[in-house]
Amino acid sequence: MSLVHPLHETSVYQARRERVAQWMLAHGGGIAVVPTGGLRMRNADTSYPFRFDSHFYYLTGFTEPDAWLAIIAREGQPTQSWLLCQPKNPESETWDGKRWGPDAAKEAFGFDGALSVDDIDTWMAQQLVGHKQVFAPLHRSSVQDLPAYLQRWINAARTPVRVAKPVPTHWIDLTPTVSHHRLVKDNRELDVMRESARIAALGHCAAMRAVAPGMAERGLEAELLGVFLREGAQAAAYQTIVASGANACILHHAAGASQIGENDLVLIDAGCELHGYASDITRTFPASGRFTPEQAALYDIVLAAQDAAVANTAPGLSFNAGHEAAVNVLTQGLIDEGIIQASLEEATEKGLYRPFYMHRTGHWLGLDVHDAGPYRETEEDADEPDWRRLEPGMVLTIEPGLYITPESGAPEKFWNIGIRIEDDAVVTETGCELITRGVPVARQEIEALVQSGKLG
Ligand code: GLY
Ligand code: MN
Ligand code: MN
């Protein structure tokens, strides 16, 4: 039986489902279905590790594959939540582990009803009758053919033509609503995220101490994963990026067989997943324990850009304020180093920083590393709605970088330097709390940490 979150509180998940149910009632009521997906094959009879769907988990806390949540919201009647999950099966459980089964899951997870997922087609066809609307997460769902399921069930519900009651004619996307609910984290979620961040920071420290010229990038990945798993995380939150030398200019370079060179910078972008919650940290450090003058100059620009973005991460400020502040500092730094030849005004207006900084300065963080939640206020009639204002409890990354390729036209002494510095920030009442500073960012502290691994 997959373990429930150690901080699992059934009432928290019930309250989340009720919030969705009330939103459904406010939009005409109906029935909602949220799937979690099943095992996917990797090769032959071997599957990828299963990871639950984030929306489903947010609303249930249930971590087994092949399950669905149904929420029934009908005007004038109590709302109901049902779980359809794998039935008990002693033979399968001998191979793959214990399952909750519907009866135990209903009690433990606080549902109004539960039944075997094997009966879902019949049950859904019956349940849909009498509802005009069906709600489902039509994007960001782990089940990509969700519309095909809905179509099949609606057709089945309509088949007994003698049924006088309505069958849904409208599909409503639940993703924007659940994503919006997920955007502001509660204290329990924030505690888990702080712990996820603490573990990821430890992993980065271990990798900095372990680095040695001649090592393969994957050797450092092993250091990170070892710490993540020993410290209680369930997995890496995303493909670990360990990029040495020129590889650091490839934004999502997966750790590979490249050998780390004596004068290389190593860029590591790695985070763990703890009870579903991601951390996401990037650090860049010299394999030798000493930045070259060019590496140091660019490092300090990126760090100053991050400081500027942090100072612009506070409640009431726009999500984009941090990005704008970072871009200004990066642009001025590129001018100062002779990489851009233009005034700040002209460089900013023409976006001359873009060949060297091609991503945004942050994203929401939570159950998904690029978490759900809108980046814009939802003004339905505005052509371009304003950026969202930050609120306490939102969590985002702050991750400026500079990537100097030979093709960029920069002076040769800067070629193949790639630097990113990424921390995770919780918006507080007055500003933001950086939860990933268990690993240093200051240049001298990074040098000291790398050098400490080379002693003895
Ligand atoms: N690790 C992916 C990112 O930083 O967005
Ligand atoms: Mn990130
Ligand atoms: Mn990252």
Which pLDDT belongs to residue 165? 85
Residue (of 56, 50, 30) closest to 38 by Cα position: 50
- Put simply, whether the predicted model's pTM sits higher than 0.85 gets the answer yes
Q: What is the spatial distance between Cα 64 and Cα 116, in angstroms, rounded to a whole number?
A: 13
| pLDDT value at 274 more than 70 | yes
Given 53, 221, 269, 368, which residue is catalytic? Answer: 269
What integer is the mean pLDDT of 117-142? 95
* Under 8 Å between Cβ of 101 and 87: yes
Dihedral over alpha carbons 430, 434, 438, 440 (to 10 degrees):
-110
pLDDT digits (tens, 9 = 90+) for 227-246: 999 999 999 999 999 999 99
Which of 13, 58, 277, 403 is the catalytic position?
403
Q: How confident is the model at residue 383 (pLDDT cuts 50, 70, 90)?
A: confident
**Phi, psi (degrees; rounded to nearest 5) at 320:** -85, -10
pLDDT tier at 3 (50, 70, 90 boundaries)?
low
Query: Ligand 1, residues 196, 403, 422, 423: which to mutate, most atoms within 8 A of Cβ?
Result: 422
- Per-residue pLDDT for 161 more than 90? no
Residue 411: how many other CB atoms lie within 10 Å: 11
Angle between helices 187-210 and 217-230 (to 10 degrees): 140
Average pLDDT for 375-391: 84
Q: Where are the alpha helices (DSSP H) in 50-118?
A: 54-60, 90-96, 101-109
| Per-residue model confidence (pLDDT) at position 158 | 87
Instruction: Tally helices (H) and strands (E) across the chain.
Output: 13, 19
| Active-site residue flag, 420 | yes
pLDDT tens-place string over residues 63-95: 999 999 999 999 999 999 999 999 999 999 999
Average pLDDT, the chain: 95
pLDDT tens for each residue of 422-447: 999 999 999 999 999 999 999 999 99
Closest CA to 86 of 77, 73, 96: 96
What is residue 456's predicted lDDT score, i.e. its pLDDT?
66
CA of 306 to the centre of ligand 3 (A): 14
The average pLDDT across 19-34 equals 98
